[in-house]
Structure formats: C-alpha cells, structure tokens
Structure 1
Amino acid sequence: MASVDETLENPDPFLEKEGDSEHGDTDGDVRRRDFLSIAAVSFAGVGAGVVALPLINQMNPSADVLALSTTEVDLAGIEPGQAIKTSFRKQPLFVRNLTPKEIAEAEAVPLSELRDPQTLEQRTKTGHKNWLITLGVCTHLGCVPLGAGEGENKGPFGGYFCPCHGSAYDTAARIRQGPAPKNLFVPEYEFTSDTHVTVG
C-alpha cells in the first residue's frame, strides 16, 4: 500500500501519461482540439451560407421582371406623322415618327418659352431626329395622354394632350400648357438597326 507522501505527489497515476505537459495535455490532444475548433467554425460558416443564400436570392428580380426590363420595337411599319403605343415595364410607351414639319415646329420654339427647357436633339438620338420615344405618362398625375392613336386629340401644340387635367405637349413631347411640371420622360434606348430599337 502506498504511503500518504506518495499519494500526495501522485494522486492518480492514471491521469499523468508519458509526454504530458505541465497542464496534462499531449500533442495529440492539442491537435484534436484544433481540428474540432476548425470543424465547428467551418460548419457554422456553411450553415450561415445556407441560410443567407435564399435570403439574398429572393432580392434578385424575378424572371417575369427581367423579361420586361427591355422592350424591342420594330419601327418599319411606322409612317412619318404616325405614332404607336406599346408598353415598357408595364407603362405605356409612345413611339413617334416625326415629319419634317413637326421637327421644324419643335426646333422653332425658343427654350425661354419652355417650362422644362430641352431641345429636340436632347430628346432624340443623333442621326434619328425623327424618332421620338417617350413614356406615355403625364408628368402631372400619371394619366395617359392622347395623341399617339389614330384620330386622337393632339392638343393645341400638335403633340399630346392629357384629358385628365388639360396638360398639352408639343411635337417634341415637351410640356407647353397645363399643370404638368415636366416633359414626357424619354427612357434609355438604343438603335440596334435602322428599323429596330431596344428600350431599357
């Protein structure tokens, strides 16, 4: 039987093994602990990614929204002096083929007479001055102006006329009369050929 002094020096001979440090850890224990720590952090990172991915993904635009983000317009059938209505991002879009007379009328207006001063050149593309593309939404309260359809009232300035509150636009779709504060909005667009335009 071990003496009291021997027991105090080594209370449990099975706790201390060969190669133990002063804290009772071996190199194997340290490596195992490091591995477990790394594995736990990796598992937490993967879990966070799995949770975050659907949340981030739901902020992307849906397929139907992406499909509506651009509008292709074929200009081939639009005669000079004619306009068509189509849609762009669920809003009416007016595409108008201006006649030389309409272009001259728009260019003859001094900018000082305009509430929202813009030249026709600023509202059309270089080399395509006859093509005026605007949203068909009155800048007053969002009504759809007349003037793009066959036989519709174009107002006193020959452009568009809003039947809701009497805003009148000229041949360059610039506000000339009534409560609307701004010209009809010209969206981003580009000519992909002489007869095709991509809006958006």
Structure 2
Amino acid sequence: MASAENTVSPGESPRVHDDTVADPRRRDYLAIGAVAWAGVGAGVIALPLINSMNPSADVLALSTTEVDVSAIQPGQAIKASFRKQPLFVRNLTPEEINQANSVDAASLRDPQTLAERTKEGKTNWLVTLGVCTHLGCVPLGAGEGENKGPFGGYFCPCHGSAYDTAGRIRSGPAPTNLAVPDYEFSNDTTIVVG
C-alpha cells in the first residue's frame, strides 16, 4: 500500500524535500537584475566624480589667446596675457636678427638658435612668455623706454638676468631661455597662442 506522503493529487506539484529550487531561472533573473542595478548605481555615482576632473569653463576660455600684430612696428614689442601670464610679442629689426644670428649657439647656457625660437618665414616675430626662468619675475624690455639690458633683449630687475634679442639667457642666474609657447599664425597679422 502506498504511503500518504508519496501520493500526489491530480494538479498538485510534487514536493521537493532537499534544498534545491524547483525553478532556477527565477534566481538567475534576480541575480542578473541586482548586478545590473548595482552597475547603474556605480555609473551614477562615478559620472559626477569623473566630470569634476574636467577643466572649468574659465580655464577653457583662457586656453588660447589671439594677438593682433599688425600695429607692432619693427623694433617694438607688446605685452599681452596668456593663461594669466605675461606674453611678449616682439617684431625684430634686421639688425636685431643679425645680432641674434651672430652668436654661436653652442656657447650659450641654453643653446638655441633664433630659427629654433621662431616660425619659418617669420623670423622677425619672437613670441615668449614674459616670465624670468630664475624665480618668475617679469623682465623689462617689452615696454616703451624700459631697460633692455646689455644684450638688447630683456632684463630682469629682480636678480639681474639678461636676455638677448632672441630671448636667450646671456648673463645672470636664470638657468634657461625665456619660454616660447606653442603658437601659430592664423593669418599674416594674427597669432594664436596655445
């Protein structure tokens, strides 16, 4: 005779007496759903953190500077601003170009020729950051009547560094030449720095 606990009525599912689940698809669905929601949550948390590392709008606005050089006469220089630092743009005279080219670059503390510091075909335009490479003072020589130093370029009044007409260090404590930023001529009268 059959025992009562082994009999199954019609329409009734058999009971399982061990720890297995009758339908494993439901557990898989819940696990996949939980992992998906956790991934979405991690993305929602990480996106603002990653986005906060992007440069702000004011920094992006300062990333390039346009300088109109049409009014700068040979022998003159102007001061502009690039990324909150002074920028010197000088229109060299033929005499200043000859003076810079007559110096043996190998004899300099930071050897560079004028051609390496200017654009091809535009050797009369010298664009440098107006920051002394010694301690960051602003050299004189770009303004009207300012002391250009013994080499006719720029002179730093803080500690006496003197630069020549190509912005190369010639005397004083500065270790390197005035920095030349990345720049291009967008047309014959406009320089885009940055």
Using the size of structure 2 for normalisation, the TM-score is 0.92
Asked if residue 17 in structure 1 is aligned to residue 2 in structure 2, the reply is no
Q: Which of the residues 152, 156, 159 maps onto 2:150? A: 156
Distance in 2, Cα, partners of 1:24 & 1:49: 35
Could you tell me how far 1:23 is from its partner in structure 2?
A: 5.4
Distance in 2, Cα, partners of 1:119 & 1:6: 105
Please give the per-residue CA displacement for 1:55-91, whole angstroms capped at 9, x wherever unaligned: 0000000000000111111111111111000111111
Please give the per-residue CA displacement for 1:96-140, whole angstroms capped at 9, x wherever unaligned: 000000000000011233111100000000010000000000000
Larger CA deviation: 31-40 vs 120-129: 31-40
Distance in 2, Cα, partners of 1:198 & 1:111: 28
Q: Which of the residues 145, 152, 168 maps onto 2:139? A: 145
Corresponding residue SS for 1:49: helix
Report the counterpart of residue 105 of structure 2 in structure 1: 111
Distance in 2, Cα, partners of 1:44 & 1:135: 50
Distance in 2, Cα, partners of 1:183 & 1:23: 79
Report the counterpart of residue 129 of structure 1 in structure 2: 123
Asked if residue 89 in structure 1 is aligned to residue 83 in structure 2, the reply is yes
Asked if residue 6 in structure 1 is aligned to residue 25 in structure 2, the reply is no
Report the counterpart of residue 193 of structure 1 in structure 2: 187
Asked if residue 65 in structure 1 is aligned to residue 62 in structure 2, the reply is no
Corresponding letter in the other structure for 1:133: V
Corresponding letter in the other structure for 2:21: D
Asked if residue 80 in structure 1 is aligned to residue 77 in structure 2, the reply is no
Corresponding residue SS for 2:128: strand
Please give the per-residue CA displacement for 1:148-172, whole angstroms capped at 9, x wherever unaligned: 0011000000000000000000000
Please give the per-residue CA displacement for 1:180-200, whole angstroms capped at 9, x wherever unaligned: 010000011111111111111
Residue ranges of structure 2 left out of the alignment (5+ in a row) = none
Please give the per-residue CA displacement for 1:23-63, whole angstroms capped at 9, x wherever unaligned: 5533xx32221211111011000000000001000000000
Residue ranges of structure 1 left out of the alignment (5+ in a row) = none
Distance in 1, Cα, partners of 2:20 & 2:76: 92
Could you tell me how far 1:21 is from its partner in structure 2?
A: 10
Q: Which of the residues 39, 43, 60 maps onto 1:45? A: 39
Distance in 2, Cα, partners of 1:80 & 1:167: 24
Identity of aligned residues (%): 72
Distance in 2, Cα, partners of 1:148 & 1:24: 86
How many residue pairs align between the two structures?
Answer: 192
Report the counterpart of residue 50 of structure 2 in structure 1: 56
